[in-house]
Amino acid sequence: MKLPLKAVTIASVIVAAPVLAESWTLVPENSHLAYGTIKKDTVGEVNSFTNLRGHVSPDGKAEIEIDLSSVETNIDIRNERMIEHVFRKAGAASLTAKFDMEELSGLEVGGTTTVDAESVLSLSGTKVAFDAEMFVARLSETSVMVSTNDMVFISTEDAGVNVGVDKLMELAGLSGITRTVPVTARLVFKTDDKKAEAAPASPVSVATVDGDIKAGKKVFRKCKACHQLKPDRHTVGPSLHGVIGATAGRADGFRYSAQLQESGIVWTAETLVAFLADPNGTIPGNKMQFPGLKNDEDISNVIAYLQLEAQG
């Protein structure tokens, strides 16, 4: 079967390094992290942290360090109480998140998009996992702004600070302080000017036009009933981690059919096109029950997604 043209185009995008495939450093003076509280049911306040630092690595992992001693509640004694009782003099908290960098690779200057980020807040030994939708704007060739698209709510119980909040209520003589805290963030990142100038521009425009990797992620939902992308995570079917370039039927820890083991097929974009269109017709007698994808565009898109994600 002839490889669809779109899949060839996708492969060139993946092999080439997109503009955003660099390390990005947080710009503290242009960044802002804030949270809100409500006291006695009617008094709302906004507090923030004035000292942040962090970076985003080329694989989309963001790591932000929050200096807890920089908390700003606009009242000095309250700042001191927050540091001592709520943050327990921890010094710093960390916020980590994972972005799908393929969704950002085609973002041109002035362009915007939204991405989902799997995030974890670590505070005094307690970790709180949450999902956040982030708004991303490409400010220039060397700067990107990432902000929360909606408010993120953190439970004080999940964060392990309920005892500290109780102490604040006692010290201030308050009847109540909310135990679910809305958080918003505006984070501006910059990369090295020379690296940005050296990055190839053409693959970005190709990725923007095709939009295939993002579409392929949606197509892969049909595969997730049987396959995972994590290493050695076999379920009904084998893990697809590292599938591109691998020989069929050879992943350790999974019991394949003899037909698949003896096929000698190496999984390339072209062999995957044939197999995904007609699994049993391509390798008769194999155990895969999926009838195949009947839309060439879906096949191209899911291969693009696999070329990126299955190698991570």
Q: In the structure encoding, which two tokens stand for residue 83, read together?
A: 């540091």
Helix, strand or coil for residue 9? helix
Cα–Cα dist 206/106, whole Å: 8
CA dist., res. 150 & res. 134, Å (int): 8
Q: Please check whether residue 299 is in contact with residue 4, taking contact to mean a CB–CB distance below 8 angstroms.
A: yes
Q: Where are the domains of the chain?
A: 20-197, 200-309
- Express each pLDDT in 194-245 by its tens digit: 544 444 433 332 222 243 788 888 888 888 888 988 888 898 899 998 888 8
Return the structure tokens found at 303. 């291969």
Round to whole Å and give the CA distance between 160 and 119: 17
Residue 10: both structure tokens together: 């996708």
Q: How far is Cα 171 from Cα 115, in angstroms, rounded to an integer?
A: 41
pLDDT digits (tens, 9 = 90+) for 73-132: 999 999 999 999 999 888 899 999 887 666 666 778 888 988 888 899 999 889 999 888
pLDDT in tens, 236-281: 899 998 888 889 998 888 999 999 888 889 888 888 888 999 998 9
Architecture of domain 200-309 in this structure = Orthogonal Bundle (1.10)
Could you read off the pLDDT of 42-58 as tens digits, one per residue? 999 999 999 999 998 88
| Mode of pairing for the β-strands spanning 52-56 and 24-26 | antiparallel
Percent of the chain predicted with pLDDT > 70: 84
Where does 20-197 sit in CATH, by number? 2.40.128.110
pTM, rounded to two decimals:
0.56
Distance, in Å, from the CA atom of 72 to the CA atom of 80, rounded to the nearest integer, reads 10
Q: Is the pLDDT of residue 18 over 70?
A: no
Nearest residue to 215 via CA among 1, 7, 4: 7
Buried b (16+ CB within 10 A) or exposed e, 238-274: bbbbebbebebbebeeeebeebbeebebebebbbbbb
